[in-house]
Structure 1
Amino acid sequence: MESPVVRHLQIEADIVAEDDGRFVGRLADAYALRRRPLCLCRPMGVPMYVARIGRGFIVKRMPRTGKDHHPHCPSFESADTLFRPGTALRLPVGSKTSGRPTAIDVKVRFSRGPIATSAGAIAHRHDCRTNSGMRLSLLALLHLLWQASGLVEWTGHWIGKRRWWHVHRYLVEATRRVSIEGEMLSERVLIPEPFKVEDKTAIKARRSGTIARLLRDGSKQRMLLIGEVKAFRGVAEGHEIVVRHMPDVRLPLGNDQLRRLQRRFSPALGLWHSERGLHLIAIATVEAAAAGALRVVEIAVMTVTEHWLPVADLHELQLVTKLARYRGKMVKVLSFDGSGTQPMATVTLPDARPLPWALYLVPADANTDFDSAIAQSILSHPDRRAWIWRPADGDMPPLPYDGVRRASVDGEDD
């Protein structure tokens, strides 16, 4: 599996890496002395600053300096404005050793209805000074965690190297960087471990311990479950969801719940059923039912490719699948709770030279206002190039591979 880039900082005369045991202490020193660390992704260094979150410290990039970092640096951010305003939340880079949540705190009601994020989450991206919070759907929370896990990024170097073991690991790490009104999200989420027959007893014991938290404060306690759907199965009482890596756990789903799911997520379900090799990811609030079983309260689903990259329809699948064979870095942009009425890049190619690419897919029902908005977006960002595909007009145009090296995959031709 791909290894994340380890950031190196210069703090005064000392150079320290994020995975160094001294890292947290040096951040504390820099904070106390009001020193600006230099990110050494560039030869001359890029100034950053240290912020205090609770009892911990994190290093953050200075405003509007994302483009100054090297494209492989975690602080590089060339495509901030390609996202719909107020939707593309991103977790800041924090200490891997502090074990504390970073700048995003999520206020979650584990019940029917939306999930509201605090103003602190918005302030991270936009320097807002407001007390009003955004409201995110359950699917948008899954988008947030997928992006925070780095699972929206891909390069052809990683073909065959991303499996559920890695997805589980990165999602778990992301939940440790989000808090729910002071409580770590990792304390209220169940993400199935990769199942191994030889370890099934230990895995089941750990999962039972997690589920037992539902019973700590009575039957009204709820938590999140994130996993891959193996099947929807009819049973005498209605239906149930079979989740991969949890072969001994069934999630009952009432007929009304199933109808709502099919109506709300028809495109994702249809894509999953029609295309081989895709995965269907579910995020659900669950509560304790009779005899220690689980019951689904609310559920959302997302279709991902064989490389675990989210796709919303056949055209996105076609684009992402073709790009996945190339060695340059690609980033799949997520919509969160965007309405789709404003243009947003589907994919970005941040490593392309001489300038990054923003790849747009125009919906079949887009009007002239949508086209005008794309044109305005392109004109207002001369630091990147734009590629546009209008599926209603025909096949995909040639992809912009200049500056993006192709991976060697089966000798395929374009």
Structure 2
Amino acid sequence: MRRAADGSHDDSAERVDTDRRSGPSTFAILNRMLDMHAYRFDTTVVQADAEDLQSHLAKAYRGKIRPLCNCRDPEPGIPMYIAQFDGRFLIKRMPGTAGQHKLGCDSHELPPELSGRGAVVGQAVQDGGDEGPTTLRLDFSMSKSSGRTAPEASGKESDTVRTDGTKLTLRGLLHYLWEEAGLNRWSPAMAGRRSWYVVRRALSEALHGKTAKKAPLAQQVFVAEPWSKERDAELTARRIAAMAELMKPGKTRAMMIVIGEVKDIVPSRFGMKLILKHLPSFPFMMDTDLHRRFEKRFANAIGLWDSVDDARLVVIGTFFLGPTGIASLATLSAMVVTGNWIPFEDAYDKMIVDALSADERRFIKSLRYNLADDQALASCVLTDTVEPIALYVATPGAAPSARAALEGLIADSEIDGWLWEAGEPMPILPSPKYPRPARLALPAPTKAAGADE
């Protein structure tokens, strides 16, 4: 895998290669036009990327007016609600309206059979809309008793992944926040634009308006700001302030959740330490038991991170601070993502995501949440086709029961399916609604008068 000289991930993939790309293709421009969302304020229609959108949202917020999503124009708009976060206004989907939005709209949601989200919404996730916060029920502790060294480490499969939808596992919470942030969606307009700054901002907005354990979730989750040497002292001060609650003495001490990209996992004097990018001087200590369980449970994700060139390893874990201010992990979960931060589960999954991205397609990546690893699930859902199409992979060597479950899922789904027998070459992907236009032969540029030969 590409690593910088210091062992860090090479961020060059986050930047647009201006030497190789002279400009967006006609197809990419068309896709960007399709990505444009609009909202209706009374008789005024405002594009989602309009410079004056915030002023319209502020006026509607003060007047308690619901903007309408215009995704099904000329049909009637779909009511939305407005939330305020960090001095900005956010437009949110009303509970129970996901199916009313058009395929490809940011507010559209996959049918339950195509995502693990369906198993947790209404139980582990209770959406309050604009009437109150969304309440999340977590299946892991957020406190540490003084008599214990740590809560039970969540390295075993039974501790981190289960089909029970009444509470979110660590991975379930990570997938929920990833989907709320829109990071499992892709369109050509996003190419070259997803840096850690963008990912963190999207996650911060996703945390807003959520509660867990009777407290705002945003106060319980730490996502590091993009680090730079010049801002190190400023960022350290903000981190200390964000974690101040963890230093309060008492019989029960609070814990926090950390989400970040792994830079390295290295031996320490009495165990291991996990180093996150953007937190170079603040490692998270792991005892040998947690590290052993983590390596066993997430061997596939770690192997993909190590072998796939542009892969990143994203972790979520609970941690506490010792008397000296050192962070120690109590539980840990992980997922591997592409250079564009799209999650994937295996090499075949990655090949589909790469093929769709290279072909400038628009799609949603299905996420498991609490579902077991061997439960049948779609890989992706195309959102640029006339009707949605779910993409499935039949993994070579899968047990007959797994193949039967996959075929049953495809047959029972309300969404048309495309199947790749992964032991064979990948079939042609379903065509988009607006096919890629033929490339035009442009005339050679003429030289300006007086130009050198």
Interval of TM-score (by shorter of Structure 1 and Structure 2): 0.7 to 0.9
Q: 287, 292, 296: which one pairs with 2:320? A: 287
For residue 72 of structure 1, report the CA deviation from its aligned partner: 4.2
For residue 376 of structure 1, report the CA deviation from its aligned partner: 4.6
Instruction: Answer whether contact 2:116 2:370 (CA < 8 A) is retained.
Output: no
Instruction: Answer whether contact 1:327 1:405 (CA < 8 A) is retained.
Output: no
Q: 143, 157, 165: which one pairs with 2:189? A: 157
In structure 1, the residue matched to 2:59 is: 22
Inter-partner Cα distance in structure 2 for 1:315 and 1:6: 32
Identity %: 26
Q: Which moved more, 1:85-94 or 1:357-366?
A: 85-94
In structure 2, the residue matched to 1:326 is: 359
Q: 210, 222, 237: which one pairs with 1:205? A: 237
In structure 2, the residue matched to 1:349 is: 382
For residue 205 of structure 1, report the CA deviation from its aligned partner: 0.7
For residue 248 of structure 1, report the CA deviation from its aligned partner: 0.9
In structure 2, the residue matched to 1:119 is: none
Q: Does 1:247 align with 2:288?
A: no
Unaligned segments of structure 2, at least 5 residues: 1-13, 15-31, 84-89, 144-150, 155-163, 439-453
Deviation string 1:261-294 (CA, Å, 9 cap, x unpaired) is 0111110001111112211111110001141111
SS of equivalent residue, structure 1 residue 241:
strand
* CA pair 146-62 structure 1, distance change in 2 beyond 3 A: closer
For residue 246 of structure 1, report the CA deviation from its aligned partner: 0.7
For residue 135 of structure 1, report the CA deviation from its aligned partner: 2.4
For residue 48 of structure 1, report the CA deviation from its aligned partner: 4.0
Deviation string 1:274-333 (CA, Å, 9 cap, x unpaired) is 112211111110001141111111111111100001111111111111211233311110
In structure 2, the residue matched to 1:118 is: none
- Within 5 Å, which residues of 2 pair with 1:245-284? 245-284=278-317
Q: 195, 201, 215: which one pairs with 2:247? A: 215
In structure 2, the residue matched to 1:411 is: none
Counterpart amino acid of residue 284 in structure 2: L
In structure 1, the residue matched to 2:206 is: 174
Unaligned segments of structure 1, at least 5 residues: 31-36, 116-131, 409-414
Q: 385, 388, 393: which one pairs with 2:416? A: 385
In structure 2, the residue matched to 1:401 is: 431
Inter-partner Cα distance in structure 1 for 2:212 and 2:99: 31
Deviation string 1:2-34 (CA, Å, 9 cap, x unpaired) is 9996652455x67788732022244x466xxxx
Instruction: Answer whether contact 2:128 2:135 (CA < 8 A) is retained.
Output: no
**Alignment TM-score, normalising by the size of structure 2:** 0.72
Q: Does 1:82 align with 2:119?
A: no
Counterpart amino acid of residue 356 in structure 2: L
Instruction: Answer whether contact 2:383 2:389 (CA < 8 A) is retained.
Output: yes
Instruction: Answer whether contact 2:39 2:45 (CA < 8 A) is retained.
Output: yes
In structure 2, the residue matched to 1:193 is: 225
Deviation string 1:125-156 (CA, Å, 9 cap, x unpaired) is xxxxxxx9612221111111111110001122
SS of equivalent residue, structure 1 residue 190:
strand
Q: How many residues align structurally?
A: 374
Counterpart amino acid of residue 267 in structure 2: G
Q: Does 1:300 align with 2:333?
A: yes
* CA pair 241-373 structure 1, distance change in 2 beyond 3 A: closer
For residue 224 of structure 1, report the CA deviation from its aligned partner: 0.4
Counterpart amino acid of residue 187 in structure 2: T
Inter-partner Cα distance in structure 2 for 1:38 and 1:223: 37
* CA pair 41-146 structure 1, distance change in 2 beyond 3 A: same
- For the pair shown, which has the larger CA radius of gyration, 1 or 2? 2
